[in-house]
Amino acid sequence: MLSVRAVIFTDMDGTLLDHADYSWAPAKKTLARCEREGAMVVPTSSKTRAELMLWLKKLSLRAPIISENGAGAFPGTLTEGVKLFSDELGCEPAMVFCVPIERVRAAIEALRDKIPGEIINFGRMTLEEIIEHTGLSHEEALLAAERDFDEPFLWKPEPTSAELSEVSMHFAEYGLVMTRGGRFWHLMGGCDKSVAVRWMKKTLFAPGTPTLALGDAPNDMGMLAAVDKGVLMDEDDRGPKRWAREVSLWLDGLKEKK
């Protein structure tokens, strides 16, 4: 098991990263404090593993990752504990919790005529359209398109509750579930971030290791319930500034409990 004093599972967009421009500047000092105090920051996101590997480099994090809304867990930049990831994906160690992206996209095509409105999913978007809808750079958009499990999509116009219920039942027949993220709807196999978080807590970290999770959207709720303390960002108070404040308060509280 990994020797850490605490673990912070964090969503990325709208949580550690600014929703509009992806900046993390207000969180830099707190990230440095996490490293000093042995609190491991684990990106737990709808982003792909390729995207998260880039973010580990940008943020100078030595940590595992949880990608595509909990569909997969990977060693990331860890050098120890890699053998605990007993599956394999693309010749890399992994823990796989969901069905592959090909099955998800096939279900969308099979049900497209039954879905009211228009579904615009990543599999049908050009790279330019992904850039337009996400604000990502060309390089980042390429990484976002490298999907293993989870398919983001736009649904226009926004569905009514009755339409959402009906379409959810259609997808459930394929063993798939929908969830709402900060920018997109997401379709994936029957798992969420909580499954990967619980596996990681049980497998990688010693029992009793303090855990915190932060997120800003409905697809984060399972993760927030799977840790000692969960923080749901307010729509008007989210991003790296709020992230830094919440993490700092939590770390202060851990010191007081000693």
CA–CA separation, 50 and 60 (whole Å)? 16
What residue type is assigned to position 120 of the chain? I
CA–CA separation, 65 and 55 (whole Å)? 10
CA–CA separation, 50 and 151 (whole Å)? 15
CA–CA separation, 227 and 168 (whole Å)? 27
- For residue 156, give the nearest of 134, 184, 182 by alpha carbon: 184
Whether the Cβ atoms of residue 63 and residue 43 lie closer than 8 Å to each other: yes
Whether the Cβ atoms of residue 44 and residue 231 lie closer than 8 Å to each other: no
Is residue 135 helix, strand or coil?
coil
CA–CA separation, 168 and 19 (whole Å)? 27
- Which positions are annotated as active-site residues? 11
CA–CA separation, 50 and 227 (whole Å)? 26
CA–CA separation, 4 and 251 (whole Å)? 13
